[in-house]
């Protein structure tokens, strides 16, 4: 293994870039989680039939407007399954041939995992779905995140290169 030595440009850039990295990390989190303005129109009530079978929900991704009154009707096709919504802390369960409803106001925007809460088989811990509670402009979040991350991974190396360049010139 060859040990390339260039001690003058080893460490300093790491510390100097930390503040820039921190700023971008903050911006990145902001694009994902900052609350957006409420919709001008009041959202419509939603009724969604959810079919559970080993080891998935159908539909796997449920999208509703923030503020909507949502009713999920859980049906099971095989064994007893549960439906727990992260963030909302709500749960219901259903045995084959029966159904149960879960009604709530989707007052927290974001993307929440839906998990099976009843041991249903080998892959039970990985029986997952998603609840997307969206606001106007929600679809822009992935785009904004991409822009922030792309800026970060472009500007940070630029900063590194500039600092390494200065460091080399200073050594000369």
Contacts to another protein by CB under 8 A:
1-4, 6, 9-11, 13-14, 17, 21, 24-25, 28-29, 32-33, 53-58, 60-61, 84, 86-87, 110-111, 113, 115, 117, 119, 122-130, 141-142, 145-146, 149-150, 152-154, 156-158, 160-162, 164-165
Beta carbons within 10 angstroms of residue 21's beta carbon: 14
Query: For residues 46 and 124, which CB has a smaller minimum distance to another protein in the complex?
Result: 124
Query: For residues 44 and 119, which CB has a smaller minimum distance to another protein in the complex?
Result: 119
Beta carbons within 10 angstroms of residue 8's beta carbon: 13
Residue 150 half-sphere exposure, CB side, CA atoms within 13 Å? 6
CB of 89 to another protein, least distance (A): 8
CA distance 24 to 66: 27
Phi and psi for 70 in degrees, rounded to 5? -110, 130
């Amino acid at each position: 293994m060859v040990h390339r030595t260039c001690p003058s440009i080893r460490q300093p850039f790491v510390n100097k870039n930390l503040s820039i990295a921190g700023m971008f990390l903050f911006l990145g989190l902001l694009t994902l989680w900052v609350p957006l303005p409420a919709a001008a129109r009041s959202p419509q009530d939603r009724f969604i039939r959810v079919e559970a079978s080993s080891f998935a929900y159908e539909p796997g991704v449920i999208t509703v407007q923030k503020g909507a009154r949502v009713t999920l009707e859980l049906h099971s096709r095989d064994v007893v399954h549960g439906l727990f919504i992260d963030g909302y802390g709500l749960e219901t369960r259903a045995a084959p041939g029966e159904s149960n409803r879960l009604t709530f106001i989707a007052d927290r925007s974001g993307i929440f995992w839906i998990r099976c809460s009843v041991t249903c088989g080998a892959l039970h811990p990985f029986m997952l779905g998603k609840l997307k509670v969206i606001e106007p402009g929600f679809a822009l979040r992935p785009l904004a995140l991409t822009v922030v991350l792309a800026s970060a991974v472009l500007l940070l190396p630029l900063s590194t290169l500039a600092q390494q360049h200065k460091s080399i010139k200073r050594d000369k």
